[in-house]
Amino acid sequence: MKKIVAAALILGLVLFLIPMGFRQERAGQEPETPEVLTLPDSGRTLTILVDGQTQEMDLNQYLWGVVAAEMPASFELEALKAQAVAARTYSLNKAGQAANHPEADLCTDHTCCQAWISREAAQTNWGDNAQTYTNKITQAVAETNQEVALYEGGLISALYHSSSANTTQDSVAVWGGSVPYLKSVPSPEGEEVPNYHSEVTYTAQECKDRILQAKPEALLEGEPANWFTNAVCTEGGSVTTLDLGGITVTGHQARTMFGLRSASFTVECTPDSVTFFVTGYGHGVGMSQYGANAMAAEGKTYTEILQHYYTGITVESFE
């Protein structure tokens, strides 16, 4: 009887240890390499100006580089998909219309068209996350293949920016032209945005020089506090217009004049200096990228995000 009990104990111990051995062996194995996703063919080839040289790219190949350059790959997938649709719409709407590069449909200069980065450069920047982020952006472009934002059946000018201060801006407040789908709407981003609040300080003389360079007719007498008057702001805090030395300028013009991250700013003056306190980054019109990410984190889909930021649009497949 004692031999039977002993044998049973030994057998039980062996059965207990075998799974531990398997677990230890698995723990020592190399992690599985993520599956490499591939982009579908869009059926549309574009000529892209890259570093002064033209390259032929499938639209989806080009969009992959735009999404990778324009939005952090760490963002929520639905935000990346919203970015892919906005970038596709922008690309098809603008292709071939840029007068400064008639040899190409689009370029990779964000001040002219959209930012773009090669897959190799993006993966180098991402380091250990390269394959995960590569797949994530591939998924965003692939799962929105052929989809664009339309207003009354036509491609919209799908403008976007990094972050807003409480609300986006109506296009008429920034550039003077009213566009039915580029209206001011609430935007939910906030303190999670890097450099959401920024400051720019100039000496009184530096500030005067910048104003006179842009507006030579401005009358800048006395202390700097006398130069900034009659500021008109939106409910979200962005400057619509203000007077500089008696000359009315838009908030967008003032932003450019003083090198500010956005037109949502306040001004504090001393006899010797002028300081701008700025919130957000970008022109403020259309889709806020950080706002899109905040909405995605709340469970909103990419279609809901796009329809929030572009008033009255539909998201449809477009041949």
How is the beta sheet containing 53-58 ordered, strand by strand? 53-58, 45-50, 106-107
The answer, yes or no, to whether residue 20 has pLDDT greater than 60, is: no
More confident residue, 295 or 12: 295
* pLDDT for residue 29: 54
pLDDT digits (tens, 9 = 90+) for 247-261: 999 999 999 999 999
> Counting Cβ atoms within 10 Å, is residue 92 exposed (0-12), middle (13-18) or buried (19+)?
middle
For the chain, what is the mean pLDDT?
90
Nearest residue to 78 via CA among 136, 20, 21: 136
**pLDDT by residue (tens digit) across 71-82?**
999 999 999 999
pLDDT at residue 1, as a whole number? 46
Higher pLDDT pick, 157 / 173: 157
Q: What is the pLDDT of residue 33?
A: 58
For residues 35 and 232, which has the higher predicted lDDT (pLDDT)?
Answer: 232
> pLDDT at position 31, please?
52
DSSP symbols for 272-298: SEEEEEEESBS--BSEEHHHHHHHHHT
Strands (E), the chain: 45-50, 53-58, 106-107, 147-151, 154-155, 160-161, 197-203, 228-233, 239-244, 247-250, 265-269, 273-279, 287-288, 314-317
Question: Helix, strand, coil proportions of the chain in percent (round to 5)?
Answer: 40, 20, 40
The pLDDT confidence band at residue 54, using thresholds 50, 70 and 90, is very high
